[in-house]
Structure 1
Amino acid sequence: MGEPNAKLLDLSRVPKVREGFYATNNQFQKEGPKGFIEVKVLENDKLYVRVHLPGLPDDAVRVRVDSVRQKVVFFSGETVINKMEGVREYSGTAGLGCDCCEITGVDDVKMKDGVLRMILSRVKVNKDAQHNNNNKCTLTVPPFTGQSGIRLEDHPYIVKGRKDALFFAPIGEGGCFFAVDLPGACGDDDVVEVSADEDTVGFKAEVKNVCENDESARTYLGSMKSPFGSSDQPLNTTHAIDWDVRFGVLMILVIPLGDIPTITNNNNDA
């Protein structure tokens, strides 16, 4: 969809503290593991890989070890067709940045709610190479880049489709559609709230489940100033708000009263 005639203001991109956004990969993430990807060495010397792939179905990820050098794992996949924003395609790599080890296999692959998690086993093939006093190799790729800041990053593994965390499109006369990346969130087990007031649509998502290799759960919070609604005609009295969470993406439909919401069965009482 093209840009709407009316302006959309993502209020989450207006920093309220000196530190700016919580996460440069997602302006809506307030708590939880930052960064589009994380590769870290576990106590058993295996590698834990976490990648944000919002919109990717749980059974749609493809993973394979580089058969030539056995240094990295390739991952890829496509999101389901969305008539509003089309398809996003992902492709990337993660693994070793050393000369002393090789990946021997992927012990565990879990793709759930827009987050890919893998455990990679490895073996040392060059015992003469030493990287620290414990002779424990910690050279992984890509380097961990999760951080806070005021400048948002494009998703590095999207080769087709939108690369930022927010999508907006107008619908007919007086309606609009939002899609917000919330990796890790689902509509069943987590607390997801969507509300509307005079001219703003807000949401909050608390991810309850914590992976054993992640440092904490996740919390998302955001608000978007809609092109519709005013103090005289508040949005929550003139429009219906329908929403759903699929594969780590929150979809919000805002349509004038009288039209029939078509996203989901999750209707909010705004």
Structure 2
Amino acid sequence: MPVMNIGPVPQSHDGFYARNNPYQVNGPKGFTEFKLMEENEDLYARFDFPGVTKESLRILVEPLKKAVFVFGDAPKEFRHDSSHRKYGTVTGLVCDCCEISNIQCFVGDGVVRLILSKKKINLHVPFSFGGATMPNVPFLARIINGYNPEVAGGHPLAHLRGHNGHNAEAEGFYAVNNPFLVSGPKGFTEFKMLENEDMFIRIDFPGVPQDAIKVRIDPTKKAVSITADAPKEHKHDSAPRNYGSATGLVCKCCEISGLVSHMSDGVLRLHLSKTRASTQSPSCISFLGGPDREDRCSTGPHTFPHGTDPHDPELTGPLLEPHPCVNIGSDMAYEWKILPNGGLYVRVDMPGVPKDRFTVSVVNGRVMVTGDAPAVSLDSGGRFYSGEVAMLESQVSIPGRKIKTIAKNGVIRLIIPPL
């Protein structure tokens, strides 16, 4: 006789005690709880991240120290789980006179608890920053004031891979791999199966020169390993970057017979060919494709894995993702530093953009950078980048030539002088 499941039943005629969990019968309601601590004006925040592991938790402080981003992963613990879960949220300050000075974090039993402390800062700073990663002010205002968990409905913070019910196109970044990308193929990588069953691969390695990439075929001729180095081009770069990746066959009956690589403007493009092997290998190697690095194996007897979708809705959303191939150095597309003279240094990754296709303009005090990356080889399309990277203290328009720019290898660096 089969075992039947029983769905959640409301605890009263008024419905569920807590809309965030049908099994909760008492205590504070809501997926989150925020409390302004009266004794020191610190902010206490509780986030329910059920299933999340302590090791996976990441806490990032926004460069202006106004906001804190919290990420966590709940693995697929059992084979019958429908999916793993990925969480992300943000909280922080709304005033201009303070910055986050300390973070205490406590993780246990699927709950993340933070205590954020703040301190006064000097208001006479020459620049403010916006656009790319700061959450909007109304959201922060609602958080920083706290709310009553006894009446709040809460809001979900989980994004299920392949099971996300909300429309990602409705809000968030066009591409989670780069906050400045506004059109064209998304994702750090693109894989395309060709009609002859060869494989075309695009991998973004911003900052890597042509002579700093190494592509090797594994001795088994089943896999290709890639290592790349992006040097510290300017003294204000936080660090050089090192990348690493791998791709290859999933079948046992073939081996890689040909490889053509081309590196330009911070993008590596590979064309892999195959042939039947004289002897079958006892194992196969899949390539790391897609957001979950899942095997994308074809049903054919001897093929490369299937390609990826560069317009996958999963590649749009409110949370930016770090570059998965970075081993050393910054894994985000934006970096800035206030200089001793009051100027500003900014690094922006726009892989695929040739050095003569960047533009910099300053209108009403806002510094705008655009980049046009044409389609090369078998790319599914060109890419266009655009975004504000800094805002001057006064709303003035100045010639872009007054800003020193260094554009090379799919990265543009700006040195903005003080007014």
TM-score normalised to the size of structure 2?
Answer: 0.52
CA distance in 1 between counterparts of 2:207 and 2:409 reads: 5
Q: Deviations over 1:34-93 (max 9, x none)?
A: 2111222111211111100000001211000111x3222111121123311131111111
* Map of 1:94 onto structure 2: 247
1:11 aligned to 2:131? yes
Q: Secondary structure at the match of 2:398?
A: helix
1:212 aligned onto 2:377 = yes
| SS of residue matched to 1:12 | coil
Partner of 2:323: 155
1:179 and 2:347 equivalent?
Answer: yes
- The structure 1 residue matched to 2:405, chosen from 229, 233, 243, is 243
Structure-1 separation of matches of 2:302 and 2:319? 35
What is the alpha-carbon distance in structure 2 between the residues aligned to residue 131 and residue 159 of structure 1? Answer: 30
The question of 1:58 aligning with 2:227 is answered no
Contact 1:97 1:140 (C-alpha < 8 Å) held by counterparts: no
Q: Is 1:256 the equivalent of 2:408?
A: no
User: What SS class does the counterpart of residue 59 from structure 1 fall into?
Assistant: helix
**CA apart distance, 1:11:** 0.7
CA contact (8 A) 1:8 1:224 kept: no
* 2:322 aligned with 1:165: no
Higher-RCO chain (CA-CA 8 Å, sequence separation at least 6):
1
Query: Residue 103 of structure 1 is aligned with which of 238, 241, 256?
Result: 256
Alpha carbon RMSD of aligned pairs, Å?
Answer: 3.0
| Structure 2 residues not aligned, in runs of 5+ | 1-62, 65-120, 137-168, 281-296
Match of 1:225 in 2: 390
In structure 2, give the amino acid aligned to 1:20. Answer: G
Structure 1: how far apart are the matches of 2:253 and 2:309? 20
Largest Rg, 1 or 2: 2
Deviations 1:196-247, CA, capped at 9 Å, x for gaps: 234421111122x322311211100111233x4224xx3738x931213100
SS at match of 1:40: strand
What amino acid maps onto 1:254 in structure 2?
Answer: I
| Residue 122 of structure 1: how far off its partner (Å) | 1.1
Match of 2:200 among 48, 51, 60: 48
Which structure 1 segments of 5+ residues have no match? Answer: 258-270
Structure-2 separation of matches of 1:138 and 1:76 = 21
Give the structure 1 partner of residue 47 of structure 2: none
Question: Which is further off, 168-177 or 145-154?
Answer: 145-154
Q: How many equivalent pairs are there?
A: 243
Structure 1 counterpart of 2:275: 123
Question: For 1:236, what is the secondary structure of its paired residue?
Answer: coil
Comparing 13-22 and 109-118, the one that deviates more: 13-22
